[in-house]
Each structure stands twice: as C-alpha cells, then as structure tokens.
C-alpha cells in the first residue's frame, strides 16, 4: 500500500457523546490512511465505532480531537461552504437504506445529484456501470432491493467522487442480492480504479478487501493487508 497515493488521512480521532456517567466514548485515538484504488473493509459489531468513523470521514460529523486531511485540506478547518462542497463533490455515500425517491425513475434518482442534472450521458453511463442500463425508466417499486441499491451506488458515482463510503450496503438485502452488490463494488475497484470503503459487521466480507480494519469499543484493534483478496462471488456469510 505504501506506493499508492493517500486519498484521506485520519490522525488520533476522538469522539464522545453524552456527559458525566452517561458519556459514551465512540472513538478513542483512531488513526488510519485510505489509499487510492483500494477496497477497504472496516469491520466491527454494533457499537464498535465504525459508523461514527465513517460519518467523520465523510464530513458529516466532526471529532472532538484529531484531524482528517483530504488533498492537503483539513476538514475541521473548512468553512461551511467548503465542507458542503467536500460532501457534495469528493465523497459518495451508500447507506443500508437506499434513500431513493419513489416518485422518480432510476435515471431521475441518479440525475438528482446536482453536478450531473444536465448530463444525460453520465446518468446513463453510471446506471450501465452497475448493470441497470435496461432499467433507466423504472421506478423504485418496479425494482428489486438489489437493483435499488445499485441505483443508489450509481447516484453516488455520478459525481465522480474521490472516495465511495458504504455503510452496511448489504444489510437490508438477502444473501444472493447482497452478493450482487459486493460484486458491483468489487468491479468499481478492480476495473475502474475507484476507492471504496465498506463498513460492515459481516466479518466474511473482509476476505474480498485489500485491507481490513477491525474495531472494538471505539478503537482499531487490528489492521490486516490481504495479499490475495478472494472474489466477491466466493464470499459467503
């Protein structure tokens, strides 16, 4: 990994919620680098701090202490407009819930991304990229859960983000459908050179990643470089 460019660097992140005896230490001195073109899996059970970390990497939350640097810019020092631009242009988000608008077609849900509203080619290309070229005019209710999740991935990719952050992207899906999503994410990294971070409690998903980070009680307890990631098609849980 050392020869690759660093997309994002997080140093000594700390975050707590609540006060007094009710204080919860969500993150405790967490540091990591994310490299260009890698598939990174952040693993941990509920309450381990993985989603809190993801929210900070995406600029949706700020640490109490520590720093997050992207392209030489520190998120905490950005003004509101700069931070909004970072979330809108540099980062793509994929959540467990698909967050699609029921009254809009697949292509309209993708085109809602501000930067591509007038570029029909990008919308079509992104949907074809995730295997939905034949579903451009379908509404969410006319698509399976896996297809809806792929629309949400296409929407995130339409702005050509430097970093794609996925929070439990298979969590609301059955096994076979979830595997389709993992195959799509794997293709984005292996074929198209995207940088993808998957946060999940499913340990087996780590087998397809270039690197895994395991979290427990707000801390990184293990980092592992996977010299031979398995194909997403072989991942079972």
Residues of the chain with pLDDT under 50: 1-2
3-state DSSP assignment of residue 20: helix
Q: What is the DSSP string of 185-216?
A: HHHHHHTT---EEEEES-GGGGGGSSEEEEEE
The Cβ of residue 86 has, within 10 Å, a number of other Cβ atoms equal to 20
- Reported as a single tens digit per residue, the pLDDT across 41-69 is 999 999 999 999 999 999 999 999 999 99
Q: What is the pLDDT of residue 116?
A: 58
Q: What is the pLDDT of residue 48?
A: 95
Q: Find, among 215, 211, 221, 222, the residue nearest to 2 by Cα.
A: 211
Q: In this structure, are residues 204 and 150 in contact, taking their beta carbons and an 8 Å threshold?
A: no
Q: Find, among 94, 25, 24, 27, the residue nearest to 67 by Cα.
A: 27
- Phi and psi dihedrals of 138, rounded to 5? -80, 145
Sign of CA dihedral 99, 170, 166, 42: positive
- According to CATH, the topology of domain 6-97+161-234 is Rossmann fold (3.40.50)
Q: What is the pLDDT of residue 2?
A: 47
pTM: 0.89
């Amino acid at each position: 990994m050392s020869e690759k460019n660093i997309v994002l660097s997080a140093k000594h992140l700390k975050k707590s919620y609540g006060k007094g005896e009710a204080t919860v230490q969500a993150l405790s001195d967490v540091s990591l680098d994310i490299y260009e073109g890698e598939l990174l899996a952040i693993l941990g059970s509920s309450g381990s701090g993985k989603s809190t970390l993801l929210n900070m990497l995406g600029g949706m939350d700020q640490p109490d202490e520590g720093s997050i640097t992207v392209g030489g810019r520190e998120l905490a020092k950005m003004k509101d407009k700069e931070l909004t631009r970072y979330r809108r242009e540099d980062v793509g988000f994929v959540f467990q819930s698909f967050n699609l608008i029921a009254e809009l077609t697949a292509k309209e849900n993708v085109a809602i991304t501000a930067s591509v509203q007038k570029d029909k080619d990008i919308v079509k290309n992104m949907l074809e990229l995730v295997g939905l070229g034949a579903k451009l005019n379908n509404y969410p209710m006319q698509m399976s859960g896996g297809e809806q999740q792929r629309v949400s991935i296409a929407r995130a990719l339409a702005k050509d983000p430097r970093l794609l952050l996925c929070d439990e992207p298979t969590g609301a899906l059955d096994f076979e459908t979830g595997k389709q999503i993992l195959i799509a994410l794997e293709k984005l990294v292996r074929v198209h050179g995207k940088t993808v971070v998957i946060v999940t409690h499913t340990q087996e998903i780590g087998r397809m990643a270039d690197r895994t980070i395991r979290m427990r009680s707000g801390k990184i307890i293990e980092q592992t470089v996977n010299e031979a990631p398995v194909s997403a098609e072989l991942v079972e849980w």
